[in-house]
Structure 1
Amino acid sequence: MSYGRPPPDVEGMTSLKVDNLTYRTSPETLRRVFEKYGRVGDVYIPRDRYTKESRGFAFVRFHDKRDAEDAMDGMDGAVLDGRELRVQMARYGRPPESHHGRRGGPPRRYGSYGGRRTSRRYV
């Protein structure tokens, strides 16, 4: 269980993404409520790199895919710490650290002076 980086031995585990967490939900609490569906290998709550606060979502990793599927079915829509959880299979791994662009900061959206975008995309 961690708020930091995931352990290196998560290969072969099935990950669920749990959205709509309160900022005070702990990895221990998530482990406790998800363990009733099977053996949990890891709980990871990403933190904002500057404020160190929870980003409001987590990854719960199960050793067995069927346990993860049962947990997804059982916990999606469940209320934890006063919030209705959204639980789905995780689709992607963590983005690489270099994904944040220049000098470790977030990528710029509107150019170097913070102005509006020069082109718009309509869908």
Structure 2
Amino acid sequence: MDIHVSNLPFKLTEEELKALFEKHGEVEVVNIIKNHKTRQNKGFGFVKMPNKAEAGTAIYKLNGFTVMDRKLKVSESATKEVPEKKAYNWKANIKKKTSVVSFDGQPKRPVKGKHKKRRGHGRGTTY
């Protein structure tokens, strides 16, 4: 289970955070998010625990726990699900017999009316 930990002290290291969570169960990965330029802790991170029951007790006991004069906010991280990419259905998008489908499967708009396409650089020249 992935756990989101926020309001971390800026001097807290990953080893110290791991030791804090290992009191409540096995910890796989600890990742504190840092600024690329200054390499300083941004104040939040993630902890991954394999056992959901142990992770639940860790969340319950460490939420509001004070470390270096800061109260931690611990919760289950919201994982963002990536939707599957659907195949383009070109048959569903063809409405009239006049529409033409290009080689890549995208429908082209049919030419409406008797207007011809303008060519050339002159004023209002049509062919």
Amino acid at match of 1:27: E
**Would you identify which runs of 4 or more consecutive aligned residues in structure 1 move more than 2 Å?**
none
Give the distance between the partners of 1:92 and 1:54, measured in 2 at CA: 22
Matched, 1:84 2:61: no
Alignment partner, residue 32 of structure 1: 19
Q: How big is each residue's C-alpha offset from its partner over 1:73-117, in whole Å with a ceiling of 9 and x where there is no partner?
A: 000000011100000001136xxxxxxxxxxxxxxxxxxxxxxxx
Mapping for residues 1-123 of structure 1, pairs under 5 Å = 14-92=1-79
> What is the count of residue pairs matched by the alignment?
80
Amino acid at match of 2:21: F
Amino acid at match of 2:39: K
More strand by share: 2
Give the distance between the partners of 1:67 and 1:81, measured in 2 at CA: 24
Any idea what SS the aligned residue of 1:60 has? strand
CA RMSD of aligned residues (A): 1.1
Q: How big is each residue's C-alpha offset from its partner over 1:37-57, in whole Å with a ceiling of 9 and x where there is no partner?
A: 110001100111222211101
TM-score (norm 1): 0.62
Any idea what SS the aligned residue of 2:29 has? strand
Give the distance between the partners of 1:48 and 1:37, measured in 2 at CA: 29
Give the distance between the partners of 1:20 and 1:78, measured in 2 at CA: 11
